[in-house]
Amino acid sequence: MAPITTLKAMAELVKGGPLKKVAVACGQDPDIIEALARAVNQKLAQAVLIGDQKRTEELARQFKIDPKIFTLIDEPDYKRAAARAVAMVRGKEADVLMKGLIDTAVYARAYLDKENGLMTGGTVAHVGVFETPNFPRLLVITDAAQIPYPDFGQKVEMINHAVAVARKLGIEIPKVAVLTATEKVNPKWPCSLEAAQLSKMAERGQIKGCLVDGPLSMDGAVSPECAKGKGISSPVAGYADILVTPDIQAGNILYKCLTQMAGATVAAMVIGTSAPVILTSRTDSDDAKFYSIVLAALMAK
C-alpha cells in the first residue's frame, strides 16, 4: 500500500471493514455527539454513549441527529460512567474508549487504573497524526498529552508506538526524527544525548521497522532545504514521518502551534493500552474529533 497523505484517505482505509464499537465516557457532549454521528452515518464505527441519557437525547435532537443511531446507557454519575465505559472495553464489549464531557484527569484515572483499567504493563503514550496545509505528507508526533518527562526507555516505546501508527498509514519504513533545539549533541542537554543513543540503537537493530536520527532540530527534520543548508547528511533529515519531542511541554506546544496557527487537522489517541483510547481537547476542531475516531478504529482493526 502506498503511504496515504490525507486524513480523508485514512477514513477510506476504515470503510468496508468490520465496524468497531466506541464506548464514550459521559456522552452528553455536543461536539462528541456530532463527531460520532458523522462516523456512524458514514459506516466507520458504532457508538455506545454512557452518561446522562436524557441530556444526550436532547442534544442529539438539537443537532437533528436521531439518538437511535447510538446505544445509550443511562449513568448520570461521571465517575461511574467512566468506569462503565472502561469496563465495556476491558470486557471486549467495545473496541475503543472515548472521552466525553468529563474532566481529563478523571478519565485518565479510569483507563490507567492498574486493576480495572486498560493497562498492559508497557508505556502508555499519546500519538497525533497531523495533516498540515502545504505540507506534502502526514506527520506523526509523540508525546503531547500523556508522559510529562519521558525517560530513555519510555522514548524507545514511544517510537515503537508511533511506528505502529505510521505503518497502518502505509509508511513501510517510517523515518523518525528525535527532536531537540539543535542538531548537535551537547553533553549539557540530556535529551540530545538520548537522541543520539536512540539513533545508534536503531542503527544496530535494537529499534526495528524504522530509521531513526537525532538529535535533529524541527527545521532540519522536516525541510530538505534546511537540512542541506545545515550540512546534515541523513536519510531522515528533511523527510521525517515521525517526530519525537523531548517532553510534554515541547510536544503540546508543537501540537497547538500546528492546529491553532498552521491550520493543521489532527487525529489523536493514546496507545499502549489494551485498546485504543481517544483523548481529545475541548479546543480541538470538529474534524479533529471525527478523525480521532477514525484513527482509533483503524488501530483497533
The string of pLDDT tens digits covering residues 4-33 is 999 999 999 999 889 999 999 999 999 999
Q: What range does the domain containing 44 cover?
A: 7-120+273-300
Q: Is the pLDDT of residue 110 over 90?
A: yes
Residue 98 sits in the same domain as residue 32: yes
pLDDT score for 280 = 84
pLDDT score for 39 = 97
With respect to residue 268, please indicate whether it lies within any of the assigned structural domains. no
With respect to residue 13, please indicate whether it lies within any of the assigned structural domains. yes
With respect to residue 2, please indicate whether it lies within any of the assigned structural domains. no
Residue 164 sits in the same domain as residue 196: yes
Q: Could you read off the pLDDT of 210-229 as tens digits, one per residue?
A: 999 999 999 999 999 999 99
- Can you tell me the mean pLDDT for 272-284? 90
pLDDT score for 31 = 93
pLDDT score for 284 = 85
> Into how many domains does the chain fold?
2
Instruction: Give whole-number Cα distances, 206 to 157, 195, 202, 210, 299, in Å.
Output: 12, 14, 5, 11, 24
Residue 93 sits in the same domain as residue 153: no
CATH number of the domain that 94 lies in?
A: 3.40.50.10950
Q: Is the pLDDT of residue 281 over 90?
A: no
With respect to residue 1, please indicate whether it lies within any of the assigned structural domains. no
User: Mean pLDDT for the chain?
Assistant: 96
With respect to residue 214, please indicate whether it lies within any of the assigned structural domains. yes
Residue 155 sits in the same domain as residue 195: yes
Residue 217 sits in the same domain as residue 111: no
Q: Could you read off the pLDDT of 117-140 as tens digits, one per residue?
A: 999 999 999 999 999 999 999 999
- Can you tell me the mean pLDDT for 279-284? 83
The phi, psi pair for 161, rounded to 5°, reads -65, -45
Residue 164 sits in the same domain as residue 66: no
Residue 255 sits in the same domain as residue 289: no
Q: Is the pLDDT of residue 193 over 90?
A: yes
Residue 145 sits in the same domain as residue 76: no
Residue 106 sits in the same domain as residue 216: no
Q: Could you read off the pLDDT of 159-170 as tens digits, one per residue?
A: 999 999 999 999
